[in-house]
Amino acid sequence: MRTLLADHPLVTHKLTLLRDASTDTATFRILTDELVTLLAYEATREIRAVPAEVTTPVGIALGARLADPKPLIVPVLRAGIGMLDGMTRLLPMASVGFVGMVRDEESLVASTYANRLPARLDGREVFVLDPMLATGGTLVTVVSMLLDRGAAAVTAVCLLAAPEGMARVEAAFPGDNVRVVTGAVDERLNDKGYIVPGLGDAGDRLFGEI
């Protein structure tokens, strides 16, 4: 696993506002959307492209186009939905799949309740959207599902990460075909598996408590 910490001043600024307990739901959604677009720029830095030639109004220009097969974006329900618009803004041609995961608050073990993924992903690059990389259990499960279907590379885009979760993902995927792009790596997890200082429950702050 490889890690990219997006330590851009705008990332830090928006993340600071997200952390603030006084930030309301509407503002939290807007900030998340903006922050994901910034993270997506870094997450797609290694996306595959092929040389391309186009005719401009005054001549021939050499450039590049995204290679086939087109990438897949996979938000992890429900909080990952709040990151989808920010990612598709940069990759409007990408397909979108979904994985629903729920964590047992006693055991901290995540289980799958929904799966809308292609049966095969041979040669495709996949971008997983999950706001919080906490214990790492959810991300390990989702990445395993994608690699088992033949994904060529998986990049997880997370607003925040904890050292414990990073270590777990790295142990599960020691190769270089899995990357984590995050806005910050925080201090630790608490006894409830929440990131400290973190920003609270991302799903609740995006969509309200249910």
- The annotated binding site is made up of 78, 103, 130-138, 195, 200-202
Give the annotated binding-site residues for uracil.
Answer: 195, 200-202
| Residue whose pair of structure tokens reads 């790596």 in the numeric block | 185
HEC letters along 86-106: HHHCCCCCCEECEEEEEECCC
CA nearest 137: which of 172, 106, 113? 172
Query: How many residues comprise the chain?
Result: 210
Residue 210 burial by CB count (10 A; 0-12/13-18/19+): exposed, middle or buried? exposed
Q: Which amino acid is at 27?
A: T
Asked if residues 172 and 135 have their Cβ atoms less than 8 Å apart, the reply is: no
Beta strands in the chain (DSSP E): 2-5, 49-56, 59-66, 72-77, 95-96, 98-103, 110-116, 125-129, 132-133, 153-158, 160-161, 178-182, 188-189, 195-196
Give the annotated binding-site residues for 5-phospho-alpha-D-ribose 1-diphosphate.
Answer: 78, 103, 130-138, 201
CA nearest 15: which of 121, 158, 126, 208? 158
- Residue 68: Cβ within 10 Å count: 9
